[in-house]
């Protein structure tokens, strides 16, 4: 079939693939002409997703030994850790430390944590400060089973703020909480979750990371 340019500007007789590469540029495409149906899975890279929020979920990861290291995907701005039925064989708190390409950093943190205990006839609350990591306060028994979450945000540069809220089961209920910050030497690449004595003997963590702090109107899942 011959190729015909009609008087209204349309073209007939042009077969699929008949245009040479480079003929149609971005300005030629009509708005919204390329839909998700035309995009192959994983064809949009992180570098091309500026302004979109990407959600990355890892786990659940079973906790064992005294410490677990979690690698962080490049570009992550927010991390949420969900703790499920976590306990250790010692009566110690947990600590999170951040790290970059130079390794895990164990100083320069500003973090305050406390707990609230509700008994039948008494209430108790206490707070402590930490400079060597994001640390819980009040895990005083190996019988604790902990549920809750820890959130870590990148605010500017290599500065990260963190907060946790957890619940522990024992004879009386405990609520654990804390918040603070850490300015890393470089880009965040990893972090550790550790028990301060003994080893984790049950439980898991699920990590959910986001490449942008704010949620725009579009999101890549």
User: 32 or 105: which carries more pLDDT confidence?
Assistant: 105
Which CATH number characterizes residue 93's domain?
2.60.120
pTM: 0.71
Distance CA 100, CA 98 (A): 7
Q: How far is C-alpha 3 from the geometric centre of its chain's CA atoms?
A: 55
**76-125, pLDDT tens digit by residue?**
999 999 999 998 887 789 999 999 999 999 999 999 999 887 664 445 56
Average pLDDT score over the chain: 83
What is the model's pLDDT at position 89? 87
Q: In the predicted model, what is the mean pLDDT of residues 1-11?
A: 75
Residue 2: inside a domain, yes or no? Answer: no
91 within some domain: yes
What is residue 47's predicted lDDT score, i.e. its pLDDT?
Answer: 59
Residue range of the domain that includes 145: 50-220
186 in a domain, yes or no? yes
Residue 62 lies in a domain: yes
153 Cβ contact partners less than 8 Å away, ≥ 6 residues apart: 77, 78, 79, 160, 161, 162, 213
Q: What is the mean pLDDT of residues 41-53?
A: 63
What is the per-residue burial (b if ≥16 Cβ within 10 Å, else e) of 116-139?
Answer: ebeeeeeeeeeeeebeebbbbbbb
Q: Is pLDDT larger for residue 60 or for residue 183?
A: 183
> Is 55 part of a structural domain of the chain?
yes
| 112 belongs to a structural domain | yes
Per residue in 109-120, pLDDT tens? 999 999 887 664
Question: Which tens digit of pLDDT belongs to each residue from 136-157?
Answer: 998 877 777 889 999 999 999 9
> What pLDDT band is residue 173 in, cutting at 50, 70 and 90?
confident
How many structural domains comprise the chain?
1
Task: Provide the pLDDT for residue 220.
Answer: 44
Asked if the structure places residue 59 within a domain, the reply is: yes
- pLDDT of 31 reads 75
Q: What's the full length of the chain, in residues? A: 221
Q: Is residue 153 part of a domain?
A: yes
- For residues 208 and 63, give the distance between their C-alpha atoms in angstroms, rounded to a whole number: 16
Q: What integer is the mean pLDDT of 13-24?
A: 70
If we measure between CA atoms, which residue out of 80, 99, 83, 60 comes closest to residue 151? 80
């Amino acid at each position: 079939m011959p190729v015909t340019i009609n008087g209204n500007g349309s073209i007939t007789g042009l077969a699929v693939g008949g245009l040479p590469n480079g003929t149609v540029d971005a300005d030629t495409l009509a708005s919204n002409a390329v839909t998700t149906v035309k995009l192959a899975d994983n064809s949009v890279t992180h570098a091309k997703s500026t302004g979109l929020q990407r959600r990355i979920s890892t786990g659940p990861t079973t906790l064992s030994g005294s410490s677990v290291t979690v690698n962080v995907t490049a570009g992550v701005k927010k991390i949420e850790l969900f703790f499920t039925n976590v306990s250790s064989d010692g009566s110690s708190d947990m600590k999170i430390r951040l790290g970059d390409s130079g390794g895990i950093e164990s100083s320069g943190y500003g973090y305050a944590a406390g707990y609230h205990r509700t008994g039948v006839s008494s209430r108790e609350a206490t707070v402590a400060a930490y400079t060597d990591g994001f640390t819980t306060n009040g895990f005083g028994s190996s019988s604790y089973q902990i549920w809750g979450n820890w959130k870590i945000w990148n605010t500017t540069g290599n500065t990260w703020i963190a907060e946790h809220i957890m619940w522990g089961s024992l004879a009386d209920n405990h609520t654990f909480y804390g918040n603070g910050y850490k300015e890393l030497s470089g880009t965040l690449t990893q972090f550790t979750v550790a028990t301060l004595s003994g080893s984790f003997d049950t439980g898991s963590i699920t990590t959910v990371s986001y490449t942008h702090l704010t949620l725009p109107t579009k999101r890549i899942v």
